[in-house]
Structure 1
Amino acid sequence: MALESRGFPVRIGVQLQPQHAPDYALIRDAVRRAEDLGVDIAFNWDHFYPLYGDRDGAHFECWTMLGAWAEQTSRIEIGALVTCNSYRNPELVADMARTVDHISGGRLILGIGSGWFRRDYDEYGYEFGTAGSRLDDLGAALPRIDARLATLNPAPTRDIPILIGGGGEKKTLRHVAGHADLWHSFADRDTYPRKAQILAAHCADVGRDPATIEHSAAIKHGASPDESARQAAELTELGLSVITVGVCGPDYDLSAVEALCKWRG
């Protein structure tokens, strides 16, 4: 019997971090290997510079890569974990998402968040603002994305799932309650239960059943295959159903991903 958590099937994701891979062929190969292993979702991230290691190391852009993945893969869902709302206006994000949705045959997850990496903003000329202002901008963008998706011709192939990443208790989780199909908490087994309770309260405020939102989290970076499977079991017992492993270039070691796929069955 397939594993389930809160009524959702347990799914395994891999975040192929587009950093420290000087040849894009390394990323292309990693996506192929991930799909062959049986992962359910391949994510990248939306940054312009590495987040760790050599700060000026090799790095590739997010959404052009998703277009390539849409053509390369045939089964897995794809998306960003997560798109930075600040880097593109909401209407453009909607159109990009619709286009990748069509290229992939309906396999895109639109992951989005408020943004946080100061260097991206400074180097590419975006206004950084404050954490609060960026979250307000995200809140204003989400209905605009919905509105544009509803008017595009041709329409998306399906209702594109919206994933919102973050755990801010006053604003982010309110946005999740109002707009998200999936919530990536960036939480662990100790911090997740409180965040889930607060999300449920926000859902009550807007008249939404919290059971309609799929919960997602990541295995701690650098965990061994056995430790990854142990963490996954703990997280699914708490109510999370999308469990993701992050891997970095240039080698993109998928041993923990393989262990999770075997654990899931």
Structure 2
Amino acid sequence: MTSETNRPVRIGVQIAPQHSTYSEIRDTLTQLEELGVDIAFNWDHFYPLSGDPEGLHFEGWSMLAAWAEQTSTIEFGPLVTCNTYRNPDLLADMARTVDHISAKNPGAEGRLIFGIGSGWFERDYDEYGYEFGTVGQRLDALAEAMPRIESRWSKLTPPPTRKIPVLIGGGGEKKTLRIVAKHADIWHSFADTETLERKLVILRAHCDEIGRDFNEIEISTGTRPHTEDGFDETDLDAQLALGATLFTLGITGPGLDVSPVKDLLAWRDAKNA
């Protein structure tokens, strides 16, 4: 399986909003934009996902509004927002507003990528009073929310500055990938190469079933350095050959080390030359 879209390779960096002061996060975002990273992501949780569970942590959408104002070229968004933390119509309005904040000049397009998933981190639900339910219930809620979000975007005044790209995260083969086929511009997973190949076959089948062009969906994958020497470019090349074109590295505090990002950008530039 190979990509038929001729999309350029893009690099995303997820700045985990944990174990860092906000000034450190802000400065790191500036570095990423200056380095030429394509997309900066955060996440939509209320507590750290690793390290000290009571460590520093910040709310995601408030941060994205600040990122929209701070930056001028880089795209950005949540990887991913949790569907069931907010009313879908409100969430659509929030995204539209952040989209407009990021458009720096009259008539310019915004830079928000709307990443969304069904949610999974039970502590968030318990501490903030949301009903956790089952995996199936949360996926059903996401399937019900997406048409509402899309409909609300069509009703808002002013409307979004562009067709806001929708990124859906998750690898569930029966429900998640069907939602991706129906609604996503980008599908994101953290699959290894073998798993990615299998899931792409399933995603293509869902697209065929509903009459969606599979090649309209950008394939996004999480990546990380494999050794102290850096990334396994053989693995990156293999996923690129399968059709992945967006590769995202996660960084977290304390420290927010951006040095691995430079290696990924060098690989991107060589592939896009």
Normalized against structure 1, the TM-score is what? 0.95
1:233 CA displacement: 2.5
Distance 1:230 1:162, change over 3 A: same
Distance 1:231 1:252, change over 3 A: farther
1:124 aligns with 2:128: yes
Q: Distance in 1 between matches of 2:264 and 2:239?
A: 12
1:211 CA displacement: 0.6
Q: Which residue of 1 aligns with 2:106?
A: none
Q: Is the partner of 1:79 in helix, strand or coil?
A: strand
Distance 1:124 1:225, change over 3 A: farther
Query: What are the within-5 Å matches in structure 2 for residues 59-98 of structure 1?
Result: 59-98=57-96
Q: Which residue of 2 aligns with 1:236?
A: 240
Q: Distance in 2 between matches of 1:69 and 1:223?
A: 31
Q: Which residue of 1 aligns with 2:49?
A: 51
Q: Which residue of 2 aligns with 1:198?
A: 202
Query: What are the within-5 Å matches in structure 2 for residues 24-173 of structure 1?
Result: 24-105=22-103, 106-173=110-177
Q: Do the aligned residues in 1 keep the contact of 2:225 with 2:232 (CA within 8 Å)?
A: no
Q: Distance in 2 between matches of 1:59 and 1:99?
A: 23
Identity of aligned residues (%): 61
Query: What letter matches 1:94 in structure 2?
Result: A
1:259 corresponds to which of 244, 257, 263: 263
Q: Distance in 1 between matches of 2:71 and 2:18?
A: 21
1:226 aligns with 2:224: no
- Runs (4 or more) in structure 1 with deviation over 6 Å come to none
**Deviation sequence 1:198-226 (CA, Å, 0-9, x none):** 00000011101101100000113775463
**Deviation sequence 1:85-105 (CA, Å, 0-9, x none):** 010010011001100100111
Q: Do the aligned residues in 1 keep the contact of 2:225 with 2:260 (CA within 8 Å)?
A: no
Q: Do the aligned residues in 2 keep the contact of 1:26 with 1:250 (CA within 8 Å)?
A: no
Q: Which residue of 1 aligns with 2:14?
A: 15
Q: Distance in 2 between matches of 1:234 and 1:34?
A: 26
1:232 CA displacement: 2.7
**Deviation sequence 1:95-120 (CA, Å, 0-9, x none):** 01100100111100000000000000
Normalized against structure 2, the TM-score is what? 0.92
1:209 aligns with 2:213: yes
1:183 aligns with 2:181: no
The more displaced of 228-237 and 46-55 is 228-237
Distance 1:224 1:143, change over 3 A: farther
1:6 CA displacement: 4.0
1:229 CA displacement: 4.4
Structure 2 gap segments, 5+ residues each: 104-109
Q: Distance in 1 between matches of 2:227 and 2:65?
A: 30
**Deviation sequence 1:217-265 (CA, Å, 0-9, x none):** 0113775463254543232122100000000012111111111111111
Q: Distance in 1 between matches of 2:229 and 2:186?
A: 25
Q: CA RMSD in A?
A: 1.4
User: What is the aligned residue count?
Assistant: 261
**Deviation sequence 1:36-75 (CA, Å, 0-9, x none):** 1110000000000011110111100000000000011111
Query: What letter matches 1:43 in structure 2?
Result: F
Structure 1 gap segments, 5+ residues each: none
Query: What letter matches 1:99 in structure 2?
Result: T
Q: Distance in 1 between matches of 2:39 and 2:12?
A: 5
